[in-house]
Structure 1
């Protein structure tokens, strides 16, 4: 059996309540404000389907492009601790088979930039 391509976890700490971060990040109406790739006008027919609303901070989502290609994106909002008003947002970037190193690095940089934008919008 072939081994899957490696994944990379990209994360950012946000000084805001995890519940507030989850509520904002899971709201499809807010995606254009922090997820630059999904705000691209050429992707206006792309769809994003999030995991059902949950109390665990799971923001897994599937992005389906106009071509019909779908990508599963694991994502979590992790509380810093009980009662703490800060959290870590972790996005697992999955490397598609055949993706060149430079493209994977560019994808990781784009995810990091999106998470930084999310932080900047939500930080107290």
Structure 2
């Protein structure tokens, strides 16, 4: 069993609007600097991008009506990191939830850094989407 941190942020936009933007891999460089630091390009079976930790391949869950945006990130080393991600209704807006799973061998410091990176990315997403309304 792995330690999990559920990181969430309220976004004052409809869940369908948040999902439409955040589930589009081409938008990742605009808000998810912790994952994509370059243009995200469609490959045969996955999306590809440069990240702060090297080249990655990203596979998203199929589009759905439940707000599920789970995605697997394959690192150059071949390690695959599963990232559960959701948008759910919360009042007149949305709650965006990212579940950060602690990888085997990850130090407390590395886990804390990952958490901070996710929090920063979610704050960027919030600012970007709320500014668009």
> What is the TM-score normalised by the length of structure 2?
0.83
Consecutive unaligned residues of structure 1, counting only runs of 5 or more, are none
Consecutive unaligned residues of structure 2, counting only runs of 5 or more, are 39-49
Could you say which structure has the higher helix fraction? 1
Could you say which structure has the higher strand fraction? 2
> CA, structure 1 residues 104+45, in 2 after alignment: closer, same or farther (shift >3 Å)?
closer
1:104 corresponds in structure 2 to 111
What is the aligned length? 118
1:36 corresponds in structure 2 to 33
1:22 corresponds in structure 2 to 19
3-state secondary structure, aligned to 1:37: coil
Q: Report deviation, 1:74.
A: 0.4
1:113 corresponds in structure 2 to 120
In structure 2, how many angstroms separate the alpha carbons of the residues matched to 1:57 and 1:40? Answer: 24
Q: Report deviation, 1:70.
A: 1.0
Select the structure with the greater relative contact order (CA < 8 A; seq sep ≥ 6).
1
Q: Paired residue for 1:67, among 72, 77, 95?
A: 77
> What is the TM-score normalised by the length of structure 1?
0.89
Report the aligned-residue RMSD: 1.4
